Amino acid sequence: MTTRRVPGMPDPGRCLVMGVVNVTPDSFSDGGEWFDFDTAIRHGLDLVGEGADIVDVGGESTRPGAARVSLEEELRRVEPVIRALAQEGVTVSVDTMRAEVAEVAVEAGAKLVNDVSGGLADPAMPRVVAATGVPYVVMHWRGHSRDMDSRAIYADVVVEVAEELRKRVDSVLAEGVSEEQIVLDPGLGFSKKPQHNWALLAGIGRLTELGHPLIIGASRKRFLGRLLADAEGTPRPFSGSDDATLAVTALAARAGAWCVRVHQVGPNADAVRVAAAWRAADKGHAGQNADEGRR
């Protein structure tokens, strides 16, 4: 249940909050609201004002069914936003599957590479990340968004995701990435049905046994909308699942997640503080019992 420190990242002694800035016209859940550069930069700064520890900038939608954008277009979208936010002193991460984008982003000031493909989409990624030395989010991934839903087949999702992540860790280590750089992510919604996402959330404790900090991205995902479906079975729209995201944040932080990736930062920043106080009191209680045992 330990939340490990990640070199170069903020270390407030609680689960971190990563705020999302999607510089895409067709993102998973905020529908291109932040596509314009100035708006994206202002939004990133607002997220920091609300308590984001990290701002995650992405230029390629991973919405189920989404087509890929070109390298040039992805660079055009993210580079100016990352540079501007980094200049303002924001801890920025880049959400990309491309090694070239990661390299340019780190040069522009990004302090973490968030690769939803865990190094599978671009074989050059692990070597580039190793050279930069920045932390690297290795997410569980079975294929591009175009047809990822067809790969949501598991006998025991927690066992299989853990095993597939362990193999990715071995692979990126062999490419020169160091143990300390690696952060893992079960990849909620990526080749996962709702029941798989819930099993992975309930399995956070087991996933932390892989020995790396965990990031959880549940914010505004389809499985929350489905949970909150109306009487006719119509899923709740993305924007209506922020309170459910908050509940996941509290529980994930309580279970030992290192970071949560969310669209609406303010309430989540409060929730991780609640979880930290809860965890601290829990430890204190265990200590009290140990003392009593000795008396």
Cα torsion angle, 143, 144, 145, 147, sign: negative
- Of the pair 65, 287, the CB lying nearest ligand PMM is at 65
Residue 159: half-sphere exposure toward Cβ, Cα within 13 Å: 4
- Of the pair 111, 290, the CB lying nearest ligand PMM is at 111
**Shortest separation between residue 13's beta carbon and ligand PMM, angstroms:** 22
Q: What angle do CA 180, 185, 190 make, to 5 degrees?
A: 150
Find tokens 């087991």 and name the residue: 206
**Shortest separation between residue 114's beta carbon and ligand PMM, angstroms:** 5
Select the residue whose beta carbon is closest to ligand PMM and give its number.
Answer: 217
- Of the pair 109, 186, the CB lying nearest ligand PMM is at 186
**Shortest separation between residue 35's beta carbon and ligand PMM, angstroms:** 13
Helices and strands counted in the chain (H then E): 10, 8
Which are the catalytic amino acids?
221, 261
Which positions touch ligand PMM (CB under 6 A)?
A: 20, 22, 27-29, 62-63, 95, 114, 116, 137, 139, 185, 187-188, 215, 217, 220, 261
Closest CA to 120 of 100, 141, 106: 141
**Shortest separation between residue 287's beta carbon and ligand PMM, angstroms:** 34
**Shortest separation between residue 215's beta carbon and ligand PMM, angstroms:** 5
**Shortest separation between residue 211's beta carbon and ligand PMM, angstroms:** 18
Phi, psi (rounded to 5 degrees) for 122: -135, 110
Give residue 241's identity as a one-letter amino acid code. Answer: S
- Of the pair 52, 139, the CB lying nearest ligand PMM is at 139
Cα–Cα dist 106/83, whole Å: 9
- Of the pair 17, 116, the CB lying nearest ligand PMM is at 116
Cα–Cα dist 147/51, whole Å: 35
Per-residue three-class SS string for 137-197: EEECCCCCHHHHHHHCCCCCHHHHHHHHHHHHHHHHHHCCCCHHHEEEECCCCCCCCHHHH
- Of the pair 29, 191, the CB lying nearest ligand PMM is at 29
Phi, psi (rounded to 5 degrees) for 56: -95, 115
Annotate 208-230 with DSSP letters as a single string. Answer: HTTSS-BEE--TT-HHHHHHT--
